[in-house]
Amino acid sequence: SQTIHQWPATLVQPVGSPLSLECTVEGTSNPNLYWYRQAAGRGLQLLFYSVGIGQISSEVPQNLSASRPQDRQFILSSKKLLLSDSGFYLCALQKRDEETQYFGPGTRLLVL
C-alpha cells in the first residue's frame, strides 16, 4: 500500500518569509497528487493538483505555488507568507486506477 510523508510536521514562520513544504509518496508510481489547505474550523480547500512531473494546475489564485520535480515528490512554496496562509496543509494522492484519495499526516503552519 501507499505511504505519504509530509515534512515538516509543524512550522512557525514570520510574515513575509519564504515557505517550502514537502510531500513524498511511496508504494505507487505516477499518482495524481494534491495540495489542500484546511483553515481552523473549516473544510478542505484544494490548492493545486498534479497529474505528472512538471504538470501543475492551480485551483485558487494566491501567493502560493507548487512544483513536482520528481514523480513522487510534490512541493508547496511561497516567496512571502501572509497571515492568511496559516492553516493545516494536507497532501493527497490518487492512484491512476483507483477512485479514492489518500491523505498524508499534514503540516501545521502558523504565520505570525
CB of residue 4 to another protein, shortest distance in Å: 8
Cell numbers 491523505: residue: 103
Q: What is the contact surface with another protein in residues (CB under 8 A)? A: 4, 6, 32, 42-44, 46, 49, 51, 88, 90, 92, 94, 99-106, 108
Instruction: Give DSSP secondary structure letters for 16-77.
Output: T--EEEEEEEES-SS-EEEEEEE-TTS-EEEEEEEEETTEEEESS-SSEEEEEEETTEEEEE
CB of residue 111 to another protein, shortest distance in Å: 17
CB of residue 67 to another protein, shortest distance in Å: 19
Please identify, using beta-carbon distances, which residue of 16 and 30 lies nearer to another protein. 30
